Amino acid sequence: MSVTWNVTGDGNIMSSRDVDLSIPVLPEMELTAMKTAEAVGEFMNLDHTKIEEVKVALIEACINAFEHSQSQAGRVDISFAIGDTALTVTISDDGQGFDPADAQTRVEKRRSDGERKRGWGLMIMKELMDEVTIKSGESGTTLTMVKHR
């Protein structure tokens, strides 16, 4: 299976097997991302359950970005990389960033205080996807999730 690499005018390399989406931070706009995930998953002939898991994880990633990023551009960028062995979904924002370890500590403290209603997004993503990595700093956050075939 071949992949064509296109170099854009600003020097970025774009795989022809990527599906790129940019959504505004608006109510229920995560559903747009979800529907794209469904279409990509079907294109890849992923198992129905895996598609559903990608959809839920992606919704959680989007609502986290909407709620916490305080994106200056008011947008979240999502890229679906169609691979031979996996679907890789990348969610990026240009917000304030966060410390994943600190976030985890705060969630654990809330759990130990008996608060069990919020703070589940990252755990849901990690349980439903095969790999989840987070890079975050002052210029924003990039969350990458992988679902193997």
Partner 1 sequence: MAESVDVDVRRQGGVGIVDVTGYVNNVLGERVAASSIDLIDEGLVRLLLNMEACTMVNSVGISFLIDVIERVNELQGKVAFCCVGSTTAKTFQIMGLLQTASVYDTERDALEALGA
Minimal distance in Å, beta carbon 67 to partner 1? 8
Of the pair 30, 77, the CB lying nearest partner 1 is at 30
Alpha carbon distances (Å) from 103 to 34, 37, 99, 107 = 25, 27, 6, 6
Secondary structure of residue 1 in the 3-state scheme: coil
- Non-local (6+) Cβ contacts of 100 within 8 A are 122, 134, 136
Which residues of the chain form contacts with partner 1 (CB under 8 A)?
A: 27-32, 34, 49, 52-53, 55-56, 59-60, 63, 116-118, 120-121, 123-124, 127-128
Of the pair 9, 118, the CB lying nearest partner 1 is at 118
Minimal distance in Å, beta carbon 141 to partner 1? 18
Of the pair 64, 144, the CB lying nearest partner 1 is at 64
Minimal distance in Å, beta carbon 13 to partner 1? 32
> What are the two backbone dihedrals, phi and then psi, of residue 25, each rounded to the nearest 5 degrees?
-80, 85
Alpha carbon distances (Å) from 139 to 7, 65, 71, 104 = 24, 13, 10, 21
Minimal distance in Å, beta carbon 138 to partner 1? 27
- Non-local (6+) Cβ contacts of 42 within 8 A are 51
Of the pair 35, 149, the CB lying nearest partner 1 is at 35
